[in-house]
Amino acid sequence: MIRRFHWIRPLPPSGSARRTLAVLALSLLLLPSSSIMAAQRPTTILATLNWEPYVGEEMRNFGFVYELVTEAFKRGGYTPHVKFLPWARALDMTQRGEMDALFPEYYSSSRLENFVYSDPFLGGPVGFYIRNDSDIQFTVDPRRNQLEALQELSQYKFGVVRGYINTDTFDSASFLYKEDVVDDLTNLQRLYYNRVHLIFIDKFVARYLLEKNYPQYLRDLRFLEPPLEVKFLYVAFSKKAPDYKDQLAAFNAGLKAVKKDGTLQEIYTRHGFREVLEYEGELESRRLIPAH
C-alpha cells in the first residue's frame, strides 16, 4: 500500500509575528559584533584563594577584593578568568608561569625575583590573636619599632600559615619559634586549645572565621592591639608570563580609574568595609608601611 503525503502550505505570519521575527533577526545580527569585541579583548588567568571576608567562592560577588581586581582588569581592557586554589598551590603555579598573576598578596622583597607587584589597594590590620586569659602585651608599639616589639615576645610560641607572607620583620625573625599549619582556621583552633600562645592573622579574617565557624570562641580570643601593620594588598604578576608588563600596566590603569570615579569606594562600602578606607589617611600620614 502506497502512502500519499500531502504538503500543507504554512499560513503567512501575522503582523505581530512579523514584528517579533524582525526583532529576533536584528538581535541575532547584533550578537556577533559584541561576541567579536569580547573575543578581541586579551585575557588574563588569575589565581586566588578562599580568604574571607576579602575573597571567597561563597561570598557575594566573591568578595570585595575579587570584585575590585576583576573590575580594574576590565577597565584596563582585559577579560579576567579567576581560579580558586589553595594558596601554596596558587603561589607555585603562578611562580612557574602557569597562571599570569595571583591575588591578594602582601608585598615582600623576598619575592621580587619571581614576581612584580601592582599598585597597592587597601587591605586591613594584621597582627596577633591571643587568648583573653593571656597576659601577653606589647611594651613597644610595633608600628614604631616592630623588631624591638617582637624581641619582647621571644619566649612565646607562634602559629603561622604555610606559604603566607606576614610582615618582613616577623618572617625574618629567626629568634621566634613558629609552627606552620595549612590555614587560619586551624590556627584559631590551636590557639583556643592552647597549642600556641599567639597566631599571626588579619584582624578582619579572624573575626569573620570565628563568627562563621566558632562563635563560642569569641569570648575567649581577641586581637592584640595595636596591629603590627595596616596592610596594602597587591596583584603579583609572574615574570614568566610572556606579557606580564602589559598586564601590569593595564591593571594599574584600571585601578587608577576605579579610584578616580568612586567605584573603589562604592565596592568597599557595599561589602561592609567602609572602615578600611579610614586607614588610608593614617597610612599616608604615619607611613606605617611603604607603598611599593
We report the CATH number of the domain holding residue 155 as 3.40.190.10
In whole angstroms, how far apart are CA 134 and each of 51, 80, 156, 185, 192? Answer: 27, 45, 11, 20, 11
pLDDT category at 128 given cuts 50, 70, 90 is very high
Number of domains present in the structure of the chain: 2
In whole angstroms, how far apart are CA 50 and each of 59, 78, 84, 103, 199? Answer: 9, 23, 7, 11, 19
pLDDT category at 40 given cuts 50, 70, 90 is confident
Do 202 and 136 sit in the same domain of this protein?
Answer: yes
Residue 281's pLDDT is: 60
Residue 151 falls within a domain, yes or no? Answer: yes
Residue 4's pLDDT is: 45
Residue 12 falls within a domain, yes or no? Answer: no
Answer yes or no: are the C-beta atoms of 88 and 160 closer than 8 Å: no
For residues 220 and 43, give the distance between their C-alpha atoms in angstroms, rounded to a whole number.
46
For residues 247 and 256, give the distance between their C-alpha atoms in angstroms, rounded to a whole number.
14
Residue 35's pLDDT is: 47
**Is residue 80 scored above 80 in pLDDT?**
yes
For residues 258 and 223, give the distance between their C-alpha atoms in angstroms, rounded to a whole number.
32
Taking phi over 0 as left and psi of -120 to 50 as alpha, with beta for the rest, 233 belongs to beta
Residue 156 falls within a domain, yes or no? Answer: yes
Answer yes or no: are the C-beta atoms of 247 and 236 closer than 8 Å: no
Residue 26's pLDDT is: 42
Do 248 and 194 sit in the same domain of this protein?
Answer: no
pLDDT category at 282 given cuts 50, 70, 90 is low
E strands, the chain, in order: 43-48, 79-84, 101-105, 115-117, 121-131, 157-161, 177-181, 198-202, 221-238
pLDDT category at 53 given cuts 50, 70, 90 is very high
User: Which cell goes with 104?
Assistant: 591578594
In whole angstroms, how far apart are CA 181 and each of 92, 125, 126, 264? Answer: 17, 21, 18, 33
Residue 139 falls within a domain, yes or no? Answer: yes
Do 215 and 281 sit in the same domain of this protein?
Answer: no
Give the CB-side neighbour count of residue 132, counting CA atoms within 13 A: 6
Residue 98's pLDDT is: 97
Last residue of a domain, one of 198, 213, 230: 230
**Is residue 33 scored above 80 in pLDDT?**
no
What are the contacts of 133-142 at 24+ separation with CB within 8 A? 133/220, 134/197, 136/197, 136/198, 136/224, 137/224, 138/224, 138/226, 141/226, 142/226, 142/227, 142/228, 142/229
Answer yes or no: are the C-beta atoms of 199 and 177 closer than 8 Å: no
194 burial via Cβ count (<10 Å: 0-12, 13-18, 19+): exposed
**Is residue 117 scored above 70 in pLDDT?**
yes
Residue 170 falls within a domain, yes or no? Answer: yes
Give the CB-side neighbour count of residue 168, counting CA atoms within 13 A: 10
Give the range of the structural domain holding residue 154, as residue numbers without chain letter.
124-230
Do 144 and 225 sit in the same domain of this protein?
Answer: yes
Last residue of a domain, one of 186, 203, 230: 230
Do 247 and 116 sit in the same domain of this protein?
Answer: yes
- Determine the straight-line distance between the first and last CA of the chain, rounded to whole angstroms: 88
Residue 118 falls within a domain, yes or no? Answer: yes
Do 117 and 246 sit in the same domain of this protein?
Answer: yes
The type of residue at 277 is L
pLDDT category at 274 given cuts 50, 70, 90 is confident
**108-112, 114-118, 165-169: which is most confident:** 114-118
> How much of the chain exceeds pLDDT 70, in percent?
82
Residue 242 falls within a domain, yes or no? Answer: yes
Whole-model pTM: value is 0.70
In whole angstroms, how far apart are CA 201 and each of 110, 214, 238? Answer: 20, 16, 25
Integer Rg of the chain from CA? 26
Do 92 and 114 sit in the same domain of this protein?
Answer: yes
84-97 pLDDT per residue, tens = 999 989 999 999 99
Residue 278's pLDDT is: 73
pLDDT category at 187 given cuts 50, 70, 90 is very high
